[in-house]
């Protein structure tokens, strides 16, 4: 009885390590080193308005305007919150990050994130 339990514990432990190792290797193989993408908010525009990123990357929005802005997903999955002048916010890219986004205060401000 004791032996069976012990083997189960060991097996579980090994399986966990193997899964973790495979996950890390998978990320490296498909996405390379995660990078950070800057999007400036200036003159009521996102610059660049369209970016292509990879899962695991970081996107940072930096508000260079006097007016407050947000970067908010059309689909509602993510939001930087209000960025006052000089403030920045970043998000980590997941599959749901892809798609169009806009500024809540100025809906004519539009951007798009593509996962390449
Ligand atoms: Cu705005």
Per-residue pLDDT of the chain (116 residues), as tens digits, is 444 444 433 343 333 333 333 344 444 445 479 999 999 999 999 999 999 999 999 999 999 999 999 999 999 999 999 999 999 999 999 999 999 999 999 999 999 999 99
* DSSP-assigned letter for residue 79: B
What the block records as the tokens of 91 is 């998000």
CB atoms within 10 A of CB 66: 8
What the block records as the tokens of 102 is 């806009």
For residue 11, how far is its CA from the centre of ligand 1 (angstroms)?
A: 54
For residue 68, how far is its CA from the centre of ligand 1 (angstroms)?
A: 6
For residue 73, how far is its CA from the centre of ligand 1 (angstroms)?
A: 13
| Model pLDDT, residue 82 | 98
- 76 phi/psi in degrees, rounded to 5: 85, 5
For residue 55, how far is its CA from the centre of ligand 1 (angstroms)?
A: 26
For residue 113, how far is its CA from the centre of ligand 1 (angstroms)?
A: 17
């Amino acid at each position: 009885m004791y032996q069976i339990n012990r083997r189960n514990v060991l097996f579980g432990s090994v399986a966990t390590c193997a899964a973790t190792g495979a996950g890390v290797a998978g990320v490296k193989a498909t996405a390379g080193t995660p990078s950070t993408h800057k999007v400036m908010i200036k003159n009521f525009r996102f610059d660049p308005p369209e970016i292509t990123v990879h899962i695991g990357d970081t996107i940072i929005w930096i508000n260079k305007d006097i007016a407050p802005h947000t970067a908010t997903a059309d689909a509602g999955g993510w939001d930087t919150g209000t960025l006052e002048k000089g403030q920045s916010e970043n998000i980590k890219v997941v599959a749901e990050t892809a798609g169009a986004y806009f500024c809540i205060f100025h809906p004519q401000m539009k951007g798009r994130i593509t996962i390449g």
